[in-house]
Amino acid sequence: MNHSIFSETSRDGRARTGRLELPRGEVVTPVFMPVGTAGTVKAIELSTLHQTGFRLILGNTYHLYLRPGTETLAAFGGLHRFAGWNHNILTDSGGFQVFSLAHMRTVTDEGVRFQSHLDGSTHSLTPESVVDIQTVIGSDIQMALDVCTGPDISREEAQNAMDITHHWAARAVQRWRQHGDYQGHLFPIVQGNFFPDLRRQSVETLLEHQLPGLAIGGLSVGEPFSLFVDTLAATMEHVPRGVPRYVMGIGTPEYILAAIEHGVDMFDCVFPTRAGRNGTLLTRKGRINIRNARWKREESPPDPDLDSFGGTSYSLGYLHHLFKAREMLGPILATRHNLMFLAWLVEEARRAIGNGTFEAFKRAVLEGFRPNGDER
């Protein structure tokens, strides 16, 4: 790596704050990235995210490749202009979706073939084509194609998936270096399943490319929380301080706080937006189910101390009514609330790290959560 895009601004144990210098502006870390699957973060306008302080969102390469498709995105000059977002976009590699959504997939050394979950049409992705697609998208940070694995596979399977991932990362780097005037960064994805020595091997192999950052994949795929934490720790201890670290697919307060504690800088997840659409609100007293009759006549907002609705506080009773009546405004407001809650959580975590009080902050937040948030 010639010039690091990351500068650490403070440190508290392994937790740290910092700044990412990206093509479309600086981003402070730790940072939660809302997921804009198909060119929209579901049920919320990108201008609202901007007003709330978000400057980095995620797009899913698999979804964008299938719809609207690379040709349409190219015609619009990339995703930023297509969706009306002038700030940074990170895209994933598509690997996770190919292995979780697509049908009839076959992995070869060359790449992966699969059938679209939308219409069954057959497609191929290679490390090279995935770099090309993300370059058309105009990603500010793109990922190298990887092979994802779930828990409970053999060491041999894990090793094999990791070896292909490493092979593909090398090809992705080569292709990425050929895109001369493209300004986006490339992160390779660490795999190795839940085997600490494979994780170490994956980190060390991928660091050899001297890329601007490192993504940590294959976590939060159904394993117990303690195994997530142990594997994360076993991975992170081999990553140098100058390298920004992105853990893919975590979005609950518990996982985010554990990741920050271990020095993670970036994370994303559909959880807060999907939960919101389904009527689950994140609050400092735990998750609540807004459809619960408990809230029917409750005049207080979901979390009175959060300015979660940009100055307009809606009551729990009104939100309850909107969900019972299946009004679109329910998911709209709940999505915004949950993203505002995460923005608050991460901002407070940054402040605590700056103050050297992260452990106390984390403990206080987790102790505030009730097992059943509906029982206040």
Which of 317, 347, 354, 374: binder of a second copy (CB under 8 A)?
A: 317
> What SS3 class is residue 66?
helix
CA 309, CA 95: separation in Å to the nearest integer?
Answer: 35
Q: Which residues have a Cβ under 8 Å from the Cβ of 37 and sit 6 or more positions away? A: 59, 60, 63, 270
Q: Which class for 264: exposed (0-12), middle (13-18), buried (19 or more C-beta within 10 A)?
A: buried
Q: Which stretch in 96-104, 243-251, 260-268, 306-314 sits in contact with a second copy by CB under 8 A?
A: 306-314
Catalytic residue, chosen from 12, 146, 268, 303, is 268
Which of 114, 295, 314, 344: binder of a second copy (CB under 8 A)?
A: 314
Of 185 and 277, the one with the shorter C-beta distance to a second copy is: 277
Of 19 and 321, the one with the shorter C-beta distance to a second copy is: 321
Of 64 and 158, the one with the shorter C-beta distance to a second copy is: 64
Binding of a second copy at residue 84 (CB under 8 A)?
yes
Residue position matching structure tokens 């720790």: 233
CA 156, CA 199: separation in Å to the nearest integer?
Answer: 14
Residue 132: active-site member = no
Binding of a second copy at residue 76 (CB under 8 A)?
yes
Binding of a second copy at residue 318 (CB under 8 A)?
yes
Which of 18, 251, 331, 373: binder of a second copy (CB under 8 A)?
A: 331
- The answer to whether 232 and 202 have CB atoms below 8 angstroms apart is no
Binding of a second copy at residue 304 (CB under 8 A)?
no
Tokens of residue 189, six digits:
């994805």
Binding of a second copy at residue 75 (CB under 8 A)?
yes
> What SS3 class is residue 39?
coil
Q: Between 225-236 and 253-261, two packed helices, what is the crossing angle to 10 degrees?
A: 30
Binding of a second copy at residue 120 (CB under 8 A)?
no
Which of 1, 19, 28, 45: binder of a second copy (CB under 8 A)?
A: 45
Q: Which class for 94: exposed (0-12), middle (13-18), buried (19 or more C-beta within 10 A)?
A: buried
Which of 72, 108, 122, 372: binder of a second copy (CB under 8 A)?
A: 72
Tokens of residue 151, six digits:
């828990």
Catalytic residue, chosen from 12, 92, 146, 265, is 92
Residue 109: active-site member = no
Binding mask 22-41 for a second copy (x = CB under 8 A): ----------------xxx-
CA 94, CA 335: separation in Å to the nearest integer?
Answer: 24
Phi-psi region of 120 (alpha: psi -120 to 50; beta: other; left: phi over 0): left
**Looking at the annotation, which residues are catalytic?**
92, 268
Q: Using CB under 8 A, list all residues that contact a second copy.
A: 38-40, 42-45, 47, 67-68, 72, 75-76, 82-84, 296-297, 299, 312-315, 317-318, 321-322, 324-325, 327-329, 331-333
